[in-house]
């Protein structure tokens, strides 16, 4: 049989057609979903500062592929204490995808605003005092509601007092500023008092109740010289709203003051002992990411970051004539000279 | 082709199977290496921790409260160096806690907490080291590690370790992009996992097949992750802790390179198959098309269009076949047209013959008509002189013109008899010829058959009594009036009766009967005569045909029965005879029942 001779050409031709079909199919991977980009409402009470965790959160989100203004919208609101509730409600009204609440006041506002059965927007909290005790979550491992988040060691007032005593050898009387309206005050005060009692030397606690800037100014004005050896901001709500003012007033009164994080040490506080907020913001980004990708907040366990940071400002110390023991300088994670 | 495809496919599959096995072995080995490395790292970590704890567990230079403060300082330095240690305690020989240093709580000197019954203290003192079970604090997995003090105080240092710190070590062991490493404790509880959420939720992996097997000391290469996806898994035990480190990679990723090989093979296979199919289709086309056109042409030729030809331009066997076929068709057409020509010729000849025949029969018909006309005319013309002969013979016989002698009278009687016979003959011929010439017209009317029969009997009775023949008419119940030409029917009846009387010897009888049979009227005339041989049954109804008996009688014209037959048939009836020699004869004729009323 004489075979036809054009078959090879035809076979090759069909293979080429097939190949082009395959590549065409592969090339059509782009999705054209017109889904609105997710919005995340971030709220914080305390207009005199921005928590460092906010920037690290945003930076980490970017690493995770959420770029603000591109595929995510981060709505940042720094608030006065009385604005928190309204802002939380506003976020709920706008139906943001996630609310990120920094510190107790905004967390409480966000929790209240999302309590309604139709308003259960996920809330990621950062730096709560105690999420289980404050009823934010059922348990750390199984939050169970629409709130979850992350927190680190903070308001370790007992440890701060211990360190205060070690740093300032002449510390005998401490002006302790509390706001009775802050629900955390009672608990912290108890720890604080216990610490004072086990200290190596007797420390007298001069407790003053303040709620406003004016109260604070009045307390400092009313101090007699030598009445106290140092100041201590105990209630979280006070350090949130009046850290800058307290440092200013204490400096003027030639008194050392403790802080809960190193930023304030840089600004003149004698020392700080507390969580480093930057890493907490970074880790909080994971919660926002997971929630935006569909994991219910109830399934995201609360993480506790136990790391603490010890910072000392030697400049402040020398101005106040305090000789910081060498072994304390060695223990410090950060020393401002 | 199937064979080729099967061979190619099986070679491809075998190749794939072996590369699958090879990849799996290589990947598992790689993972195992990683797991071993991770386990070693963790062991190293633990070793370092033990060294650190050993260092702070050395007896202090000072004793009493100064010694405890010294320990506190040492512990602080330890906590600063290693952030995974949350709390360190020194427990004295009596099991009471003497120093507690923590990053978050206030330091306690001489807290007096009782640890004398705790394995943290007892095991450390007896075995020098103690590793507690994994426990959760603040949502995070922790581990208690204790080491014993070198003799002087012979207490123990107890440290609480936050296990999240080992995550980095384990994470380094991950394989590929989607691979991951994790560790479980001796109960299968998750100690560390890249997904911190799983750890924080106190997840147990004891139900995963590879973990279950590993806790029993067996290895399972393909396991499942917490979501049920298949993973390639390898594990290594961490000796002092009783933990297992797993390094896993989703099968989908592990075999991704293999997958691309599969795709490549599949694509090549597919391409070759396509090529083969295209080739065979093309071949089939080149074969089938011509065959189809040959088939179509054959069918057309079969149905008669012989001028059909096949157009196949190729020079191959099919082209030759088509040429042969065309040749055959041409030959067929040729023979067919020759045949057609011959048929045409024969048909023409046949037509000519038919025309001739037609002409001849027309001539014959005309001749027959001429004969009948001639006979009719002749009879008529013969009767005229015959009437004169009979008339004058009768006048002479009746002696109206004088006496005749005996001899003359005898001859006159002969003349008269012969003349009457001739007249009868001529009358019969006339009648017959009239019938044949179609000149007889029946005057049909109802008449009494019985009367006609009786009339006939009366006419023959004289002769019958002369010959001593009895003539009888049976009852004809239900038959009286029939339709027909009475004169002609009477003629037929008379004919049959006279024949019967004539041929019946003396002492015989003639029996007449009429009956209604099968819707027709049947008249029979039976005699006891000599009978008629069966071979003569037909003949006697023809003109001038008589039986030998008849001829012997020298009577009759041989036209009576022929005439009767014609007349009965003119009425639409039939006439026949039932007879045999020596048995007598029965002549029967019928008249259609429509004539009865």
Whether residue A89 lies within 8 A of chain B, CB to CB, comes out as no
Helix intervals (H) in chain A: 7-27, 52-63, 84-93, 103-113, 157-167, 185-198, 213-221, 236-252, 262-266, 277-292, 314-319, 326-331
Average pLDDT over residues B370-381: 77
- What pLDDT is recorded for position A73? 95
Whether residue B140 lies within 8 A of chain A, CB to CB, comes out as yes
Which helix (H) or strand (E) element contains residue B561? helix B560-570
- What pLDDT is recorded for position B18? 85
Q: Please say whether the dihedral angle defined by the alpha carbons of residues B427, B428, B434 and B437, taken in this order, is positive or negative.
A: negative
**What is the distance between the alpha carbons of residues A98 and A118, in angstroms, rounded to a whole number?**
14
Give the gap in angstroms from C-alpha A67 to the nearest C-alpha of chain B: 22
Contact (CB, 8 A) for B262 and B15? no
Whether residue B162 lies within 8 A of chain A, CB to CB, comes out as yes
CA-nearest of B147, B54, B70 to B109 is B70
Residue with tokens 């989703």: B250
Written as six digits, the tokens of A288 are: 């926002």
Residue A138 carries which DSSP code?
A: S
Q: How far is CA B332 from CA B293, B295, B324, in A?
A: 19, 17, 12
Contact (CB, 8 A) for B453 and B493? yes
Would you tell me which residues 279-298 of chain B have a C-beta closer than 8 angstroms to some C-beta of chain A? 279, 282-283, 286
Q: Of the candidates B103, B201, B282, which has its C-beta nearest A141's C-beta?
A: B201
Whether residue A312 lies within 8 A of chain B, CB to CB, comes out as no
Whether residue B316 lies within 8 A of chain A, CB to CB, comes out as yes
Whether residue A158 lies within 8 A of chain B, CB to CB, comes out as yes
Provide the number of CB pairs (under 8 Å) joining chain A to chain B. Answer: 92
Contact (CB, 8 A) for B141 and B187? no
**pLDDT tens for each residue of B256-297:** 777 787 788 788 888 888 998 898 888 888 778 778 888 888
CA-nearest of B480, B460, B591, B476 to B527 is B460
The pLDDT confidence band at residue B553, using thresholds 50, 70 and 90, is low
Q: Of the candidates B103, B201, B278, which has its C-beta nearest A306's C-beta?
A: B103
Average confidence score pLDDT of chain B: 85
Residue B552 in this model has a pLDDT that exceeds 80? no
* Letter string b/e over residues A260-290, b meaning 16 or more CB atoms within 10 A of that residue's CB: bbbbbbebbbbbbbbbbbbbbbbbbbbbbbb
User: Hey, are the CB atoms on A14 and B275 less than 8 Å from each other?
Assistant: yes
Residue with tokens 């009688």: B553
Contact (CB, 8 A) for B139 and B200? yes
User: Within chain A, which residues score under 70 in pLDDT?
Assistant: 1-34
Identify all chain B residues contacting A327, using CB atoms and an 8 Å cutoff: 73
Average pLDDT over residues B466-492: 84
Strand partners, A43: A77, A101
Contact (CB, 8 A) for A283 and A300? no
- What pLDDT is recorded for position A94? 94
Identify all chain A residues contacting B202, using CB atoms and an 8 Å cutoff: 141
Residue B246 in this model has a pLDDT that exceeds 50? yes
CA-nearest of B153, B160, B157, B208 to B182 is B208
- What pLDDT is recorded for position A30? 40
Residue of B nearest to A308 (CA): B103
Strand partners, B131: B145
- The structure's pTM equals 0.58
Residues in chain B: 597
Which helix (H) or strand (E) element contains residue B334? helix B317-397
User: Hey, are the CB atoms on A22 and B267 less than 8 Å from each other?
Assistant: yes
User: Hey, are the CB atoms on B106 and A22 less than 8 Å from each other?
Assistant: no
Q: What is the CA radius of gyration of chain A?
A: 28
Give the gap in angstroms from C-alpha B54 to the nearest C-alpha of chain A: 21
- Percent helix, strand, coil in chain A, to 5, is 45, 20, 35
What is the end-to-end Cα distance of chain B in Å, rounded? 94
Q: What does DSSP say about strands B470-473 and B509-517: parallel, antiparallel, or unpaired?
A: parallel
Residue B184 carries which DSSP code?
A: E
Residue B508 in this model has a pLDDT that exceeds 60? yes
- Percent helix, strand, coil in chain B, to 5, is 55, 20, 25
- What pLDDT is recorded for position B594? 56
Residue of A nearest to B201 (CA): A141
Written as six digits, the tokens of A276 are: 């480093």
Written as six digits, the tokens of B248 are: 């896993």
Identify all chain A residues contacting B271, using CB atoms and an 8 Å cutoff: 15, 18
Q: Of the candidates A153, A198, A307, which has its C-beta nearest B108's C-beta?
A: A198
- What pLDDT is recorded for position A24? 41
Average pLDDT over residues B232-252: 87
Q: How far is CA B138 from CA A209, A268, B200, in A?
A: 32, 33, 9
User: Hey, are the CB atoms on B140 and A306 less than 8 Å from each other?
Assistant: yes
Q: How far is CA B234 from CA B30, B188, B237, B367, in A?
A: 9, 15, 10, 130
**What is the distance between the alpha carbons of residues B48 and B65, in angstroms, rounded to a whole number?**
29
Q: Of the candidates A14, A140, A308, which has its C-beta nearest B278's C-beta?
A: A14
What is the end-to-end Cα distance of chain A in Å, rounded? 100
**What is the distance between the alpha carbons of residues B263 and A272, in angstroms, rounded to a whole number?**
61
Strand partners, A231: A175, A257
Written as six digits, the tokens of B549 are: 């008996």
Written as six digits, the tokens of A150 are: 């992350």
| Angle at CA of residue B191, ends B187 and B194, nearest 5° | 135
User: Hey, are the CB atoms on A302 and B275 less than 8 Å from each other?
Assistant: no
Q: Which residue out of A132, A299, A303 would a mutagenesis test of the B interface target, given it has the greatest number of B Cβ atoms within 10 Å?
A: A303
Written as six digits, the tokens of A87 are: 């802002």
Contact (CB, 8 A) for B127 and B145? no
Whether residue B108 lies within 8 A of chain A, CB to CB, comes out as yes
**pLDDT tens for each residue of B164-209:** 878 878 877 777 788 888 999 989 999 889 888 898 888 999 999 9
Contact (CB, 8 A) for B343 and B350? no
Whether residue A132 lies within 8 A of chain B, CB to CB, comes out as no
Average pLDDT over residues B525-551: 82
Residue B460 in this model has a pLDDT that exceeds 70? yes
- What pLDDT is recorded for position A39? 95
List, edge to edge, every strand of the sheet that includes A230-233.
A204-209, A173-178, A230-233
**What is the distance between the alpha carbons of residues B406 and B391, in angstroms, rounded to a whole number?**
20
Residue A168: Cβ within 10 Å count:
23
């Amino acid at each position: 049989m004489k075979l036809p001779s054009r078959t090879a050409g035809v076979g090759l031709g069909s293979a080429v057609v097939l190949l082009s079909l395959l590549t065409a199919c592969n090339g059509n991977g782009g999705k054209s979903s017109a889904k609105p980009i997710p919005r995340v409402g971030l709220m914080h009470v305390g207009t005199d500062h921005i928590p460092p965790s906010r920037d690290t959160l945003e930076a980490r989100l970017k690493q995770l592929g959420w770029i603000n203004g591109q595929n995510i919208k981060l709505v940042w609101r720094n608030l006065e204490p009385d604005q928190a509730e309204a802002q939380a409600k506003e976020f709920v009204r706008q139906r943001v995808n996630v609310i990120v609440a920094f510190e107790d006041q905004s967390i409480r506002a966000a929790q209240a605003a999302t309590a309604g059965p139709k308003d259960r927007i996920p809330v990621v909290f950062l730096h709560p005092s105690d999420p289980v005790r404050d009823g934010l979550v059922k348990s750390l491992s199984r939050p169970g509601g629409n709130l979850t988040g992350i927190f680190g060691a903070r308001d370790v007032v007992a440890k701060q007092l211990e360190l205060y005593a070690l740093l300032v050898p002449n510390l005998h009387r401490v002006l302790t500023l509390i706001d009775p309206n802050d629900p955390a005050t009672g608990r912290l005060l108890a720890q604080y008092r216990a610490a004072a009692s086990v200290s190596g030397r007797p420390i007298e606690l001069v407790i003053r109740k303040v709620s406003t800037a004016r109260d604070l100014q009045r307390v400092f004005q009313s101090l007699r010289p030598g009445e106290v050896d140092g100041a201590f901001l105990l209630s979280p709500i006070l350090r949130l709203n009046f850290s800058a003012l307290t440092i200013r007033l204490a400096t003027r009164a030639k008194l050392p003051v403790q802080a809960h994080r190193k930023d304030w040490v840089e600004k003149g506080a004698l020392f700080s002992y507390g969580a480093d907020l930057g890493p907490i913001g970074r880790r909080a980004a994971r919660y926002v990411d997971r929630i935006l990708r569909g994991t219910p907040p109830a399934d995201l366990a609360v993480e506790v970051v136990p790391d603490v940071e010890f910072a000392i400002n030697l400049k402040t110390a020398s101005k106040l004539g305090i000789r910081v023991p060498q072994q304390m300088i060695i223990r410090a994670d950060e020393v401002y000279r | 082709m199937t064979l080729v495809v099967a061979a190619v496919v099986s070679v491809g599959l075998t190749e794939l199977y072996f590369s699958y096995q090879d990849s799996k072995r290589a990947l598992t080995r790689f993972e195992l290496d990683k797991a071993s490395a991770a386990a070693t790292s963790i062991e190293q970590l633990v070793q370092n921790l033990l060294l650190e704890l050993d260092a702070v567990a050395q007896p202090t230079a000072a004793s009493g409260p100064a010694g405890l403060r010294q320990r506190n300082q040492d512990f602080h330095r330890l906590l600063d160096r290693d952030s995974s240690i949350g709390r360190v305690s020194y427990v004295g020989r009596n099991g009471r806690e003497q120093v507690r240093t923590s990053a978050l709580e206030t330091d306690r000197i001489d807290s007096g907490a009782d640890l004398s019954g705790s394995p943290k203290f007892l095991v450390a003192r007896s075995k020098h080291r103690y590793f507690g079970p994994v426990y959760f604090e603040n949502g995070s997995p922790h581990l208690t590690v204790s080491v014993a003090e070198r003799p002087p105080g012979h207490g123990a240092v107890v440290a609480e370790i936050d296990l999240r710190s080992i995550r980095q070590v384990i994470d380094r062991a991950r394989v590929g992009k989607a691979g991951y490493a994790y560790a479980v404790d001796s109960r299968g509880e998750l100690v560390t996992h890249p997904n911190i959420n799983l750890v924080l939720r106190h997840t147990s992996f004891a139900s995963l097949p590879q973990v279950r097997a590993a806790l029993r000391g067996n290895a399972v290469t393909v396991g499942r992750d917490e979501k049920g996806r298949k993973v390639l898994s390898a594990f290594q035990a961490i000796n002092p802790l009783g933990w297992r480190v797993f390094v896993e990679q989703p099968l989908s990723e592990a075999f991704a390179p293999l997958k691309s090989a599969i795709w490549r093979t599949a694509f090549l296979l597919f391409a070759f198959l396509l090529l083969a199919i295209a080739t065979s289709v093309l071949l089939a086309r080149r074969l089938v098309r011509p065959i189809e056109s040959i088939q179509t042409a054959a069918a057309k030729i079969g149905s008669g269009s012989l001028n059909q030809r096949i157009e196949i331009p190729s020079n191959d066997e099919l082209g030759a076949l088509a040429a042969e076929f065309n040749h055959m068709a041409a030959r067929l057409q040729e023979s067919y047209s020759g045949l057609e020509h011959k048929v045409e010729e024969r048909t023409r000849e046949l037509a000519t013959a038919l025309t001739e025949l037609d002409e001849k029969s027309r001539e014959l018909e005309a001749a027959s008509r001429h004969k009948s006309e001639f006979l009719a005319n002749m009879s008529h013309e013969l009767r005229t002189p015959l009437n004169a002969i009979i008339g004058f013979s009768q006048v002479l016989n009746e002696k109206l013109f004088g006496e005749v002698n005996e001899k003359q009278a005898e001859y006159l009687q002969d003349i008269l008899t012969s003349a009457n016979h001739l007249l009868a003959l001529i009358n019969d011929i006339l009648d017959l010829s009239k019938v044949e010439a179609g000149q007889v017209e029946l005057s049909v009317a109802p008449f009494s058959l019985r009367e006609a029969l009786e009339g006939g009997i009366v006419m023959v009775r004289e002769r019958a009594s002369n010959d001593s023949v009895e003539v009888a008419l049976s009852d004809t119940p239900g038959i009286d009036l029939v339709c027909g030409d009475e004169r002609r029917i009477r003629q037929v009846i008379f004919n049959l009766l006279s024949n019967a009387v004539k041929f019946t010897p003396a002492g015989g009888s003639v029996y007449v009967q009429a009956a209604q049979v099968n819707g027709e009227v049947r008249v029979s005339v039976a005699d006891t005569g000599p009978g008629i041989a069966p071979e003569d049954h037909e003949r006697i109804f023809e003109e001038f045909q008589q039986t030998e008996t008849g001829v012997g009688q020298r009577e009759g014209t041989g036209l009576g029965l022929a005439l009767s037959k014609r007349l009965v048939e003119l009425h639409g009836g039939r006439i026949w005879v039932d007879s045999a020699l020596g048995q007598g004869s029965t002549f029967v004729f019928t008249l259609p029942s429509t004539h009865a009323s």
